[in-house]
Amino acid sequence: MGVNLKWISLFVLVIQNSLLVFVMRYSKTLPDKYLSSTAVVCSELLKLITSMIIHVYYRIKETKPPEKYSFKMLLSELFGKESDCIKIMVPAVLYLIQNNLQYFSASKLDAATFQITYQMKLIMTAFFSVLVLKRKLFKHQWLSIVLLAAGIALVQFPTGDNKTSVAAENGNEMFDKLLGLLSVFIACLSSGFAGVYFEKILKNSKVTLWARNVQLSLFSVIPGFFIGCLLLDGSTIAERGFFGGYTRWTVLTISCQAFGGIIVAIVVKYADNILKGFANSISIILSCVVSYFLFDFHVTLLFNIGCCLVMFSTYLYGK
């Protein structure tokens, strides 16, 4: 069952990531602009509620009469001595930083540069897997990671339909580019360490996956709301409202992010972070293929070479 769930969750993660790319891109092109800080908080809040409902449902089923599952038991599982809730604060804050930096770097860099540089998270994940989890990677696996990075770089190389973005890029200041690259690097560093740290906690604890998700979301929502929304964007929210600029596409984007986070947690539980990274990379390839048929995306020789490299590297890593 674990093996089946591992590959099912990876497949769903690929589809979810591909859908999120289109939905988020479209929501950001609409005239009404929404604040990224509020979107991140809403996404984490939705994930918190969903995880809480699933956790309570399973615990009620597992609790045998005459004992009944109570609110006191829930608090003990989430914040008791054996919950290790303090440890969850580390990946929660790092994921919050990563999510906000993604929006920031995407506003400073063109799409191609952002996608290429963001693949550094695979290298970061592999590094922290060896350092923290003491996981041994064989030579061919290290080679597969390098090939993956090269393939993704080629796939995201600007094509004939990127003239507008290239022209816009020429008008940007160098300082903005440096800020964008720095934010991507920090986001990748945060994502890599947070993912590996969370994997270690999940696989060395009796606390359920859904309880961990509740903790993770809760410790993301609190600093996200008070620091991101109130402190940084408080004046804008006071003027336009918390949901200023929201459309149905914004709501769909938030939903994809929320349930994507749950899927990622399942992948980390039953697979590992590097396979999660490959799933993300394959979703980029899938997005490009869908764009070719639906959005007049121009496939180049570099794209074909990059696609082959990504597919081969995925095979090579699992060999």
Q: Is residue 254 a contact partner of residue 282, using CB atoms and an 8 Å limit? A: no
Q: What is the pLDDT of residues 211-256, one digit of tens each?
A: 888 999 999 999 999 999 999 899 999 999 999 999 998 898 888 8
Q: What is the pLDDT of residues 100-143, one digit of tens each?
A: 887 777 667 655 566 667 767 777 888 888 888 888 878 888 88
Q: Is residue 254 a contact partner of residue 24, using CB atoms and an 8 Å limit? A: no
In a domain, 32, yes or no: yes
- Between 279 and 211, the more confident residue is 211
In a 13 Å sphere around the CA of 253, the CA atoms on its Cβ side amount to: 22
Q: 85 is written with which tokens?
A: 């809730």
**Which pLDDT does position 276 carry in this prediction?**
62
SS (H, E, C) 57-105: HHHHHHCCCCCCCCHHHHHHHHHCHHHCHHHHHHHHHHHHHHHHHHHHH
In a domain, 77, yes or no: no
What's the domain count of the chain?
A: 1
In a domain, 211, yes or no: yes
In a domain, 75, yes or no: no
- The yes-or-no verdict on residue 77 having pLDDT over 60 is yes
In a domain, 253, yes or no: yes
Which domain covers residue 153, as residue numbers?
Answer: 2-64+85-318
In a domain, 71, yes or no: no
Q: Is residue 306 a contact partner of residue 153, using CB atoms and an 8 Å limit? A: yes
In a domain, 79, yes or no: no
The amino acid at residue 19 is L
In a domain, 295, yes or no: yes
**Which pLDDT does position 308 carry in this prediction?**
80
Q: What is the largest CA-CA distance in the chain?
A: 70
Q: Mean of the pLDDT values across residues 193-210?
A: 82
- The yes-or-no verdict on residue 164 having pLDDT over 50 is no
List of long-range contacts for 250-256, beta carbons under 8 Å, 24+ apart: 250/27, 250/34, 250/39, 252/23, 252/27, 253/20, 253/23, 253/24, 253/27, 253/39, 254/39, 254/42, 254/43, 254/46, 255/43, 255/46, 256/16, 256/19, 256/20, 256/23, 256/24
Q: Is residue 229 a contact partner of residue 40, using CB atoms and an 8 Å limit? A: no
Task: Give the pTM.
Answer: 0.75
What's the alpha-carbon Rg for the chain, to the nearest Å? 20
Q: Is residue 117 a contact partner of residue 109, using CB atoms and an 8 Å limit? A: yes
**CA–CA separation, 108 and 293 (whole Å):** 28
**Which pLDDT does position 238 carry in this prediction?**
93
**CA–CA separation, 55 and 74 (whole Å):** 9
**CA–CA separation, 55 and 33 (whole Å):** 35
- Between 226 and 318, the more confident residue is 226
**CA–CA separation, 15 and 9 (whole Å):** 10
